[in-house]
Structure formats: C-alpha cells, structure tokens
C-alpha cells in the first residue's frame, strides 16, 4: 500500500469526476484532494451546484453509470484503492464501512415496507445472526437514535413518521453496522430549525461515542461551526480553501469564503440584512477554462485572475487557499 498512515481513513487524490452532456464530458469535481482522518468531522461547504454531492457519490461509486465517470484520480479507503474494487466489493464496503445519509427528499426509505423490515434488511445483508437477535438489535438501534417508542415504529411505514423521525431512522440504518465513515449530504436541509438542531446533536453524540469520521456536506456555515473540526470550501467543483473551523471563522482568506460568512445569519447583526452573493455558480458548460472560477463574482478580482489559475497554497499551518491575492508575486 502506498504511504498509508493508520489514521488516514479516506484519502482522495486529484479526483476529477463529471458528466457527459450533449456528447461532451464536463468535470463537476475538478482535481479535488482530501484527507479524512479517523475520528474527525470534516465539513464540505459551498453553494448549490459546487460539486459537493458529486464528490460524495464518487466516494460511494454511486454516480449514474450511463452518463458520468471518474475521469482521474484515486480514492483510498484505509489504504485500499477503491477505484479497483469490484461491484461486489463495493457492496460490502457500502453500509458496512462507509455509510451515507441524504437530504430528506432523497432518502432511500422504501414507502411500501415497514421501518422494521428495512432495518432488518441492513443486518441481513451484512452479517449472519438469528431473527430474534436482529429484532432486538433493531430496537436497540432505534433507541440509540432517540426513538422512544421503538417497538411501535418497527411496525410503521415511512409515511407515518415525521421528517425528523424519518431522518433518525435513516441514521439508524446508516450506523447499524458501525461504519468507520459516515457521509452526510445535507442531512438536515429539509428539516425545520428545531428538528435540525436535534439531528445535529444526535450525530455529534453518535460520533463522540463511536469515533467514526463524518464527511459533513452542507451549504450552511452555521452547521459547519456547530459540527466540524475541519472544513473545505468548494466552488465550481474545486476546493478553494481548507482550514480548521477556527481558522475559517476567525481568519477566512478566500473572497468566496468571506462572502459566505457575510451571508450567514447571526445574533450579533443588529439588522438582519442577509447579503447574498451576487451572481450564480456557473453551469458545467459555462465554467471558465482558465483563471479563477470565481472571478466573475469576486469583489477583489484582479485582471490576472481571468487568465492565471490559482492553486491551493499554505497561508498558515493547516490552512490553505487557492487565490491569487495570496500569491506573493501577484499584485
């Protein structure tokens, strides 16, 4: 195995993944490298369309096969190159070693089966135990995710539960086999604020007990502040800033990060003037081919930003930014 350290759980190197659109290929994730150590929560933040979901689906190898591909790069899980895994090996990995939870509308609870049936299925797919044993473990699991009336919920169908309860069930399914990595893709976006706070707390508690790592994908920096140890900011399929949560909030560098922070609601802002960032994330076909991808929306853009492509550079220990403003030879 190549340079694999024991606390390197997931290592993504130079990943390029994207889609065929009208006969041409476009990158949705562009040269992304990311290290997820064990027992850490890493946030991936950026507006809608920045490539966060494509990144998480690439890790799970769940991109639609017919019109997408991983064009370049490697993904190592515990030092093993999962690019080389067969579908059967991936099926063993998914759910057992790496699990994923989605935003509520995308959740994969099947409307025609009871919660109990769907929970039991997870255990039956991944291990051999007696029926009675599985039933008991399902109930324990539901209690672990804060569902008090677990025995009843086992017999219910998804439509009988609230959004928050359904997300708890999804979390139960995701952690059933004690995965080492949980990929949470906007898991609370569809929930109201109170329920969102409860689900975040639940994930934090579960993480603290299990020591699993979480790749926490969100468009909401407030959630990052609440949950994460480290964070990467994505724009246009690329990582534009990487930092610890403290560094990002107290010493943000990339103009995009600074604008995202300005757009955050806060208790200290007297009047709630939420500045939203002007313009939109370019579509894949309209992504600038050279220079900085954020240039058209950047308040600090220099002439050079249109032509010269910034790369991630260290600005302090553990803090990297891809912006020409921080490259010393540029003025």
Ligand X SMILES: Nc1ncnc2c1ncn2[C@@H]1O[C@H](COP(=O)(O)OP(=O)(O)O)[C@@H](O)[C@H]1O
Q: Look at residues 18, 14, 31, 178 and name the one whose alpha carbon lies nearest to residue 81.
A: 14
Q: Which helix (H) or strand (E) holds 91?
A: helix 87-93
Among 5, 14, 48, 251, binds ligand X (CB under 6 A): 48
Q: For residue 49, state whether it binds ligand X (rule: CB under 6 A).
A: yes
CB of 46 to ligand X, least distance (A): 6
Helix (H, G, I), strand (E, B) or coil at 38: coil
Q: Of ligand X, Mg ion, none, which one sits near residue 51, judging by CB under 5 to 8 A according to partner kind?
A: ligand X
Q: For residue 179, state whether it binds ligand X (rule: CB under 6 A).
A: no
Cβ distance to ligand X smaller for residue 68 or 196: 68
Point out which span in 41-49, 86-94, 267-275, 323-331 binds ligand X (CB under 6 A). 41-49
Q: For residue 116, state whether it binds ligand X (rule: CB under 6 A).
A: no
CB of 52 to Mg ion, least distance (A): 5
310's tokens: 């910034």
Point out which span in 45-53, 158-166, 198-206, 268-276 binds ligand X (CB under 6 A). 45-53
Quickly list DSSP for 108-163. Answer: ---TTS-HHHHHHHHHHHH----HHHHHHHHHHHHHHTT-TTHHHHHT--GGGS-H
The torsion defined by the Cα of 8, 205, 172 and 143, in degrees rounded to 10, comes to: 150
- Number of residues forming the site for ligand X (CB under 6 A): 14
CB of 55 to ligand X, least distance (A): 7
Among 12, 16, 51, 77, binds ligand X (CB under 6 A): 51
Per the CB < 8 A criterion, the answer to whether 97 and 181 are in contact is yes
Among 46, 95, 164, 255, binds ligand X (CB under 6 A): 46
Q: Of Mg ion, ligand X, none, which one sits near residue 19, judging by CB under 5 to 8 A according to partner kind?
A: ligand X
3-state helix, strand, coil in the chain (%, to 5): 35, 25, 40
Binding mask of the shown chain, residues 22 to 61, with x at each position contacting Mg ion by CB under 5 A: ------------------------------xx--------
Point out which span in 44-52, 110-118, 176-184, 294-302 binds ligand X (CB under 6 A). 44-52
**Which residues, 266 to 305, sit near ligand X by CB under 6 A?**
283-284
DSSP class of residue 309? Answer: P
Among 64, 111, 148, 299, binds ligand X (CB under 6 A): 64
Which residues neighbour 315 within 8 Å (Cβ) at sequence distance 6 or greater? 253, 321, 326
Among 15, 54, 183, 200, binds ligand X (CB under 6 A): 54
> How far is residue 147's CA from residue 167's CA, in Å, rounded to a whole number?
11
Q: For residue 157, state whether it binds ligand X (rule: CB under 6 A).
A: no
Q: At what angle do helices 115-126 and 163-175 cross, to 10 degrees?
A: 10
CB of 205 to Mg ion, least distance (A): 25
Burial of 23 (0-12, 13-18, 19+ CB in 10 A): exposed
Q: For residue 184, state whether it binds ligand X (rule: CB under 6 A).
A: no
CB of 51 to Mg ion, least distance (A): 8
Quickly list DSSP for 170-217. Answer: HHHHHHTT--SEEEEESTTTTS-HHHHHHHHHHHHHHHHHH--EEEEE
Which residues neighbour 51 within 8 Å (Cβ) at sequence distance 6 or greater? 28, 29, 30, 32, 234, 236, 237, 238
Cβ distance to ligand X smaller for residue 62 or 197: 62
The site for Mg ion (CB under 5 A) is made up of 52-53
Residue ranges in contact with ligand X by CB under 6 A: 19, 21, 28, 46, 48-54, 64, 283-284
């Amino acid at each position: 195995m190549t340079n694999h350290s024991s606390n390197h759980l997931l290592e993504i190197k130079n990943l390029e993944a994207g889609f065929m659109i009208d006969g041409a290929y476009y990158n949705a994730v562009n040269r992304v490298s990311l290290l997820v150590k064990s027992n850490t929560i890493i946030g991936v933040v950026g507006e809608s369309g920045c490539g966060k979901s494509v990144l998480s689906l690439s890790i799970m190898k769940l991109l639609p096969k017919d019109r997408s591909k991983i064009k370049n790069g490697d993904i190592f899980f515990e030092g093993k190159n999962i690019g080389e895994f067969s579908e059967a090996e991936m099926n063993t990995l998914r759910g057992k070693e790496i699990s994923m939870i989605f935003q509520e509308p995308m959740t994969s609870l099947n409307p025609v089966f009871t919660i109990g049936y769907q929970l039991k299925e997870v255990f039956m797919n991944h291990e051999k135990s007696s029926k009675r044993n599985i039933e008991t473990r399902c109930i324990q699991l539901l209690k672990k995710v804060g569902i008090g009336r677990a025995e009843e919920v086992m017999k219910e169908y998804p439509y009988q539960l609230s959004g928050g309860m359904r997300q708890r069930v999804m979390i139960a399914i995701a952690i059933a086999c004690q995965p080492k990595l949980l990929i949470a893709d906007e898991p609370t976006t569809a929930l109201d604020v109170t329920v969102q706070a409860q689900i975040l707390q639940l994930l934090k508690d579960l993480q603290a007990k299990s020591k699993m790592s979480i790749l926490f994908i969100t468009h909401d920096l407030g959630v990052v502040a609440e949950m994460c140890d480290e964070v990467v900011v994505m724009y246009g399929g690329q990582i534009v800033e990487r930092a610890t949560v403290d560094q990002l909030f107290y010493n943000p560098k990339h103009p995009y990060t600074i604008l995202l922070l300005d757009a955050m609601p806060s208790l200290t802002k007297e009047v709630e003037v939420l500045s939203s960032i002007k313009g939109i994330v370019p579509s894949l076909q309209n992504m600038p081919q050279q220079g900085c991808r954020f240039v058209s929306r950047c308040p600090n853009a220099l002439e050079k930003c249109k032509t010269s492509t910034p790369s991630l550079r260290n600005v302090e220990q553990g803090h990297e930014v891809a912006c020409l403003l921080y490259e010393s030879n540029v003025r």
